[in-house]
Structure 1
Amino acid sequence: MADLGNLIGRLLIAFLFLGGAVQKVSDPEPVVQMIASIGLPGVLVWPVALFNLLAAICLIVGPRIQIWALVGALYCLFTSYFHFQLRADPWQVTIVVKNWAIAGGLLILASQAPRRFYLWR
């Protein structure tokens, strides 16, 4: 049961990263604006989209699932900064908490490598 739970958890989190990649490629402007809002070049949307795609694939099949989980957790914590808009849009606080919860799940995954259901470590 633990191995199946690990796989299902990885799939669910990977779908989130995959959705992020699709969103950034199909409509990059909102992310470009968020990136630009902290003084970074909006063109960073493309490496971020690629990171989202690679994270999704590597969380499912490997390699280095634990490292990808740790990096993904750090990414989720970092991107929370963009959504921390208490006064401007209270709904964004929900996204912050969601990102923290995903980071927590990824940290658990990073600490407990899958024993089965992956192509390579």
Structure 2
Amino acid sequence: MSKFAAIVGRVLLALIFIVSGASKLFDVAGTSEMIASAGLPGSLAIPVGVFELLAGLCLALGFMVRLVALLLIAFTIVATVLFHNELTNPVQSAMALKNVAIIGGLCLAFAHSQMWHHYYSIKRDRAGELAVRDAERRAHEAELRAARAEGAATARHTGEHVTVREDLDGDGISEPRSRKRRWFDW
């Protein structure tokens, strides 16, 4: 369930960048004016829109999540410093806080993708350990069977009685007699 929630959260976080990048590409003139108002060349409108769109798609699809998260963190920090630096204006301060929250979500996406890589490596190592343990258990059981067979053969040869067998259920086939276990000791 945790992985499902992380994937949904990552897709919703990526949706912000996908929609923002697409709107920048649909309104290149407006985006150029906004970028030029911050003192940057207006020709950055298309590269910024393409970057946001592609990075959002990569984040949503889970492709290179750690690298994309780091790039989007840097991009969001730069966008916050350049475009939302008037903290006395309530709208600008709300946008800056929104960007801080997005940075936090990107940090979680970065950390969670590392966690699953670590989880899969632990799972792979554990599978190897279990295979070794299973092989050792099978070898031990084979040794026990051989020792029991040898002991039974020796007992038959010497005439000792190894196992008490009797017909317990009356079907004509003798079963080994087992001691009944007691649940309470009184």
TM bucket, shorter chain: 0.7 to 0.9
Tell me the CA shift for residue 38 of structure 1.
3.4
CA distance in 2, matches of 1:105, 1:95: 15
> Aligned residue for 1:62?
62
CA distance in 2, matches of 1:32, 1:10: 29
CA distance in 1, matches of 2:35, 2:16: 20
Tell me the CA shift for residue 31 of structure 1.
2.8
Give 1:26's aligned amino acid: F
CA distance in 2, matches of 1:80, 1:30: 18
Give 2:87's aligned amino acid: L
- The 8 Å contact of residues 15 and 60 in structure 2, kept in 1 or not, is answered as no
Give 1:34's aligned amino acid: M
Q: Percent identity?
A: 35
Structure with max Cα Rg: 2
> Aligned residue for 1:104?
104
> Aligned residue for 2:42?
42
Tell me the CA shift for residue 68 of structure 1.
0.5
CA distance in 2, matches of 1:44, 1:91: 24
CA distance in 2, matches of 1:37, 1:6: 37
Tell me the CA shift for residue 19 of structure 1.
0.8
Length-normalised TM-score, structure 2: 0.56
Tell me the CA shift for residue 14 of structure 1.
1.1
Give 1:12's aligned amino acid: L
CA distance in 1, matches of 2:70, 2:5: 18
Tell me the CA shift for residue 103 of structure 1.
0.5
Give 2:3's aligned amino acid: D
Say what the alpha-carbon RMSD is for the aligned residues.
1.9
1:72 aligns with 2:72: yes
Query: Which runs of 5 or more structure 1 residues have no equivalent in the other structure?
Result: 117-121
CA distance in 2, matches of 1:67, 1:108: 13
CA distance in 2, matches of 1:60, 1:86: 31
Give 1:19's aligned amino acid: V
Length-normalised TM-score, structure 1: 0.84
